[in-house]
Structure 1
Amino acid sequence: MKKILIIILSVFCLVTKGQKSYASEPVLRIVPLEDEVYVYHTQRLSAGHGFNIYRSDGPGGAFVRLNEKPVRGAQRIDDMRPMLADRYEALLEMFEVETAASLWLVMRARHFEAGLASFLYPEAAKTLGRLYIDQDAPMNTEVTYRIEFVNNLDRPTGKELFKTLVLEKKRPPAPRILSAANFGTMVTLEWEYFRVKPEDDDFVIQFFIYRTEPQTGELLILNDRAVVRNNAYDTHVFTFESPVINTTEQYVVSAVDITGNLIEASEVFEYDLIYNLPLQPVYEISAHVTPEPWVELTWKPSLEENIAGYRIYRSSDLSKPFIEVTDELIPADSGFYLDTTVVGGLSYFYFVNVVGFAGNESEKGSVAMARVLDLFAPPQPFGLTAEFNTQTRNVELSWQTETLSENFETFTIMRRREDVANPGSFSRVNPDILEETSFIDLGGEEAGFLEGAKYRYVIFSSSRAKIHSDTTAIVLTIPIITAPDAPLGVRAVNDNGFRVHLNWGAVSSRNLEKYSVYRKKADEESFHKLLDLPITTRFIRDEDLQTGNTYIYAITATDIAGNESEFSIPDTVFFRNYTPPSSVRNIQAAVRDEGVELRWDRVAADDFLGYIVYRSGIPTGIYEPLHEGLLKDTRFIDLTGNAEMWYRVRAVDTSGNESRPGNPVRPVVVNND
């Protein structure tokens, strides 16, 4: 209660700030209403003292006494209680006393608190002799009130109070409720009521808080003590215990002035008042499997009030989140739930949460477990296809299945080589749970899939209890798309102009089918295929050649898919023989006017290419050729020759062989006439 008095004190001081101190000098506080005026004073009266009140209407008007006898408060304890009426209990609590005698003493001894009580309750002001109600005041007129204090003999004490004002009723605004919140049945209302300056005193000192009775619509007051306005703040709060719960409540806040008059009421504020205190978890829960098989849960129903029902949460793995399995709340008085959505091969874990009307749930309680057996295999997959992707070099698998059974866990894909002497056992392709109907096999080995190899795939479905369906299989031959390596070590050797011997190294490829031999002359741009050879043959003799030509050879390898390798590194050979042509015969040389004329017999040879004429100054000297290139004719004129020169003529074949030089000849001088 001391806290309440401190709040009242702060309110009063804030409202009267700027006026004379309440504790040091008494003041008048006048509240005009519709047809009467409340005139308060704060003068502390001694026992038996009272006051007379006068009013002057208009400027300069004469004062007229309003009371017949001096206004005094209760003079005895027995007079106090009837005057306080139904405020008696509130004042006992306010002053923290228990008897009328104690209240009588403190209201006179604690002057300041008594003055504040006067503004809260007009009954207290009358009891203390501090209030006069002018019921004949001229409204909307400037008046002056004068209070004359008198002693117990009705004689003036010499103390007077004056106040001039226009009698106009003030209309303070209505409060505006901002929010409501509850914790269980304890409700806190917050409303807005703006502060006022001392010169704008609106006389509002407290608030009444109401709830609407749903059946009658009657407003029932909720505060049994004063909810004081604190002029230091724009918002106010009040906490109370609601007599009802789990319903929609309507609240109203009304401002009250110092006369006890209700000024304005707020708009009705609706609030869903739902019980939201923490709920006791369910600890006694059991689960067992029925023959269907389903899981039956039972628990001891909660004895708490204000619960809406229960929710069931389930998980098949304690490391994973629990998921709610109930579509709607189980009734609050029930302790049974049948889970018909379980599948075989799994362990299920359950807990039950208590749910309040606000949707709040209890903490997680005890967990019950049930193991559901699995006796049936999931449906067999069908329509298995396998295709090798030549871009990614992976195998793309797909299949079909019927609607997956509830106990389905995974598809399992197995693979092995089929084109080897001992295929061996299958290897699992997918290491993890596979629920999709397609899969990409990366090969599982560093080398990936071997081109030309055959692989068998099988697929089956498995339940959580590791019961497997029948298998579906397919065999896939990996296409050969990579050409073989080119042969190495190609070597072409001329066999004395009769033939060329050609050989090369083997190509390492399990899919090799043949070698191809290509040849071209040095002056040709493109190779021409000579022949194809089986992979067991890596040697040929090429005899369809002409001496004197340069030939270039290259080899390719081709696999069974028709992929041909690049050309090998080519080898070049000059095809020639080493047998010179026959010596030139019957060489004749004669000096002519234009020079030395030489003639000789034609050399007959298949590989004949031409002649070279040599000259020397002495028969045993060094012979130098006289021309560039080869001569095709059997006649030659040495324009610079003379009778002192010696000559030889040699035949040249296509292999570059020159005939033996034969005997040198010296020109004879012939008469040109």
Structure 2
Amino acid sequence: MRTLLLLTLTASLGVAAAQTAPTKGGVAALPTPDGAYLRWYLPGDVLPARGFALRLSGPGGTRTVSVSSPQPYTAALGLPRPEYDSLIATYKTPPRSASERTQRAFFGLSVVARPAYARALGIMITLKDLRPGQYTVTVTALGSTETKVGQATFATAPLMPVPQPGPPRAKAAPAAVQLSWSVPAAASSGLVVAYNIYRAAGNGPFVLLRPAPFFPSSQPGGDVFKDADLQAKTTYRYRVASVDLFGRESARTVPITVTTEAVTVLPAPEDLRATVRERAVTLRWTPPKDSRITRQVVVRGTDPSRPLTAVATLKPGEATYTDTTGRVGEPYVYAIIAGTAGGEVGTRSNLVSARPVNTRPPAAPSGVTIKAGESALTLSWKANREEDIRGYQIYRSESEQPGAPALLVNTEPVVGTTFSDPLRAGLLNRYFYRVTALNTSQAESARSATVSSKLVDKTPPPAPALLPFTVSAEGVKLSWMQADIPDLAGFRVLRATGNAAPVELGRLNAATRTYLDATAEVGVTYAYSVRSVDGAGNVSAPSTPVAIHRASTGVPAAPQGVQVKALGARAGNRVTWKAAPGLAVVVYRLDAAGRPALQASDLITAGSFTDTAGTPQSQYQLRSVDERGQLSSLTNPMPVDQP
């Protein structure tokens, strides 16, 4: 409360002092013989982009003084560089939330208590070398717009000392001291914002108590400072000094001496026991007997190493309490502490542990859905409305039949409303799932409605393996074997010629293991392969290709379309023909009737032959030869076509 009241004061400064009574405003002025100390608030708790402008009017006219905000580091009066950087960063941008505004307000206390902070921010300066007389100063913040901060009037004069607080009063307590004092008279204390408190043990030296300074409230009669954690039955001395807005300290008060009282320990409640009930914990104990005790406090927490929180205050003689406010399933520790009307407390009782339970099972989860992936099935469901849900259990079965065994697939209760069950890719089983809810008391719900699914099958089957082939007059016959897969759907037979891409010849069912290619041409070499296809449409890699050449199985056909033309000038004759693919041709010449034919050429795969020994009277016969050396019949003798 003291802090917030002071922040209200310092946010607007609320003071503008001359040598007499201060007046309200946004600027404070403390006269000096040749000028004044000036200080003002920071509008919006953010540094203005262009600093401040001070319009000073008085003897000698009116002039404007520019003040940078922030001031350079060299003007920070000894602040460590990291501390200076942190201060400037804090006020660089305006607070964006309520929490930031609260933090900025508390940080403002440091600005009030430490003039070096104010100088670094550019909201405190010293005017010097002014002529004697009265002056008026107006401060304006220069941001995107100009904002008037405030105005103060002062007259140059000797520097006034900081007014001293009234003599302190001390009240001894067990191992503690409570100090109070009166604030300086209002006419002279307008710039006093805090106090420094000094303490000495016995006849030892006085030491400033930290944190300093101590910020009072604006309540009448001053404030109360409690110095706790002292030694019992020990003498201490205290002095108090005022601190003004410019960081100056007053003379210290006359020391006051006080001796702390002895600490008398209150007896603790004994034999604390806990009984767990449905959604509650009942405590029983033996209450202490001491006339100073005016109350007993039940304290509770979840960590015995940390402070416990009060949950109930009872009369001195009560010996039982039922706690119905705990969260079901949460493990708690309890203790009882006795106290007096003056605020003294005794040691706590023994600690007991208890966990309120809820044995009523939660509702079965609803809205269960399943989504299939390649290697996992993912379940989703709606969250239960009960507040004590620990998590969810997932059960998997391979059958929907009543009584079918179900496996709990999660190792710990699932927190959240989704679960992914990892499975080996390529499995073809259908799985059935049900979900239950588990509360923090281990009560489990009935199982949800069943959902089921298979994995998304994107795993291709293994490739077939081609077996030895046969070539017959009907064509090329392939056969293969296939690894056993449960969802085999069929096969695709492929054939390629040369470097061309394979062409699909046919699609066969899963039971077929042979294929006859009756379209294979004689004399052509083909590369055959087979692919398997599963029920999901996944196609295997092709089997290892097998090269097959279909040779002729009978007597080759004789060449067709034989023609012979004389080349003239005794250059011979040119013979042309058409032969079946894959067959070579031999040319024979007849030079006279009745004489045997002479072989005029070797095996020719082209469709023509030039016989340089031929004459216009020559005749020719041709014969085809296949790769096995079989000969066709001779063509009829063909004479030379005379020009």
2:407 corresponds to 1:427: yes
Deviations 1:523-571 (A, max 9, x none): 6x33332222111111111213322222232222222122222333222
Distance 1:464 1:186, change over 3 A: closer
Question: Could you tell me how far 1:515 is from its partner in structure 2?
Answer: 1.0
Among 376, 386, 397, the alignment partner of 2:379 is: 397
Among 532, 539, 561, the alignment partner of 1:557 is: 532
2:623 corresponds to 1:650: yes
2:336 corresponds to 1:352: yes
Question: Could you tell me how far 1:501 is from its partner in structure 2?
Answer: 0.8
SS of the residue 1:502 aligns to: strand
Determine the C-alpha separation between the residues in 1 that align with 2:338 and 2:456: 67
Matches within 5 A, 1:19-418: 184-185=174-175, 187=177, 235=207, 248=224, 253=239, 266=253, 280-288=267-275, 294-301=281-288, 303=290, 305=292, 309-313=296-300, 324=308, 326-327=310-311, 329-330=313-314, 335-341=319-325, 350-354=334-338, 365-368=349-352, 375-390=359-374, 393-404=375-386, 406=388, 408-418=389-399
SS of the residue 1:326 aligns to: strand
* Paired amino acid for 1:300: P
Among 500, 511, 523, the alignment partner of 2:487 is: 511
Residues 487, 504 of structure 1: 8 Å contact kept: no
Question: Could you tell me how far 1:491 is from its partner in structure 2?
Answer: 4.6
Determine the C-alpha separation between the residues in 1 that align with 2:572 and 2:480: 56
Give the aligned partner of residue 416 of structure 2: 436
Instruction: Indicate the RMSD between aligned Cα atoms, in angstroms.
Output: 5.8
2:477 corresponds to 1:501: yes
Matches within 5 A, 1:610-625: 611-613=585-587, 625=601
Give the aligned partner of residue 206 of structure 1: none
Distance 1:175 1:610, change over 3 A: same
* Paired amino acid for 2:397: R
* Paired amino acid for 1:560: G
Distance 1:625 1:519, change over 3 A: same
Give the aligned partner of residue 485 of structure 1: 461
Determine the C-alpha separation between the residues in 1 that align with 2:207 and 2:481: 102
Deviations 1:596-642 (A, max 9, x none): 54879x89x87685633379xxx99x97946864235xxx5422679
Give the aligned partner of residue 612 of structure 2: 639
Give the aligned partner of residue 90 of structure 1: none
List gaps (5 residues or longer) in structure 1.
1-170, 190-209, 213-226, 238-246, 256-263
Question: Could you tell me how far 1:484 is from its partner in structure 2?
Answer: 2.3
Determine the C-alpha separation between the residues in 2 that align with 1:296 and 1:176: 52
Residues 581, 657 of structure 1: 8 Å contact kept: no
SS of the residue 1:659 aligns to: coil
Distance 1:460 1:590, change over 3 A: closer
Distance 1:544 1:422, change over 3 A: farther
* Paired amino acid for 1:338: T
* Paired amino acid for 2:362: P
Question: Could you tell me how far 1:376 is from its partner in structure 2?
Answer: 2.2
Determine the C-alpha separation between the residues in 1 that align with 2:343 and 2:513: 89
Question: Could you tell me how far 1:457 is from its partner in structure 2?
Answer: 0.7
Distance 1:326 1:564, change over 3 A: same
Deviations 1:353-389 (A, max 9, x none): 4568998976553234668675422222111112123
Give the aligned partner of residue 543 of structure 1: 518
* Paired amino acid for 1:477: S
2:554 corresponds to 1:576: no
Residues 328, 356 of structure 2: 8 Å contact kept: yes
Question: Could you tell me how far 1:300 is from its partner in structure 2?
Answer: 0.6
Distance 1:254 1:566, change over 3 A: closer
SS of the residue 2:450 aligns to: strand
Distance 1:508 1:500, change over 3 A: same
Deviations 1:136-165 (A, max 9, x none): xxxxxxxxxxxxxxxxxxxxxxxxxxxxxx
**Higher Rg of the two aligned structures:** 1
Residues 575, 611 of structure 2: 8 Å contact kept: no
* Paired amino acid for 1:376: R
Determine the C-alpha separation between the residues in 2 that align with 1:330 and 1:416: 56
Give the aligned partner of residue 468 of structure 1: 444
Deviations 1:77-133 (A, max 9, x none): xxxxxxxxxxxxxxxxxxxxxxxxxxxxxxxxxxxxxxxxxxxxxxxxxxxxxxxxx
Deviations 1:141-195 (A, max 9, x none): xxxxxxxxxxxxxxxxxxxxxxxxxxxxxx9x97999999988245499xxxxxx
Residues 296, 338 of structure 2: 8 Å contact kept: yes
Residues 459, 472 of structure 1: 8 Å contact kept: yes
Question: Could you tell me how far 1:500 is from its partner in structure 2?
Answer: 0.5
Give the aligned partner of residue 102 of structure 1: none
Give the aligned partner of residue 70 of structure 1: none
SS of the residue 1:457 aligns to: strand
Determine the C-alpha separation between the residues in 2 that align with 1:469 and 1:646: 106
Determine the C-alpha separation between the residues in 2 that align with 1:350 and 1:400: 36
Determine the C-alpha separation between the residues in 2 that align with 1:254 and 1:521: 108
Distance 1:386 1:460, change over 3 A: same
SS of the residue 2:381 aligns to: strand
* Paired amino acid for 1:426: A
Residues 381, 472 of structure 1: 8 Å contact kept: yes
TM-score w.r.t. structure 1 length? 0.49
* Paired amino acid for 2:585: Y
SS of the residue 2:465 aligns to: coil
Give the aligned partner of residue 129 of structure 1: none
Determine the C-alpha separation between the residues in 2 that align with 1:502 and 1:326: 89
Question: Could you tell me how far 1:516 is from its partner in structure 2?
Answer: 1.4
Determine the C-alpha separation between the residues in 1 that align with 2:402 and 2:585: 73
Identity over the aligned pairs, expressed in percent?
19
Residues 516, 555 of structure 1: 8 Å contact kept: yes
Question: Could you tell me how far 1:478 is from its partner in structure 2?
Answer: 1.9
SS of the residue 2:419 aligns to: strand
Determine the C-alpha separation between the residues in 1 that align with 2:489 and 2:284: 73
Determine the C-alpha separation between the residues in 2 that align with 1:530 and 1:181: 109
Determine the C-alpha separation between the residues in 2 that align with 1:431 and 1:442: 13
Give the aligned partner of residue 114 of structure 2: none
Distance 1:459 1:324, change over 3 A: farther
Determine the C-alpha separation between the residues in 1 that align with 2:338 and 2:600: 125
Residues 461, 534 of structure 2: 8 Å contact kept: no
Question: Could you tell me how far 1:647 is from its partner in structure 2?
Answer: 9.9
Question: Could you tell me how far 1:282 is from its partner in structure 2?
Answer: 3.3
* Paired amino acid for 2:461: D
Distance 1:556 1:587, change over 3 A: closer
Distance 1:277 1:389, change over 3 A: farther
Residues 310, 332 of structure 1: 8 Å contact kept: no
Determine the C-alpha separation between the residues in 2 that align with 1:544 and 1:348: 86
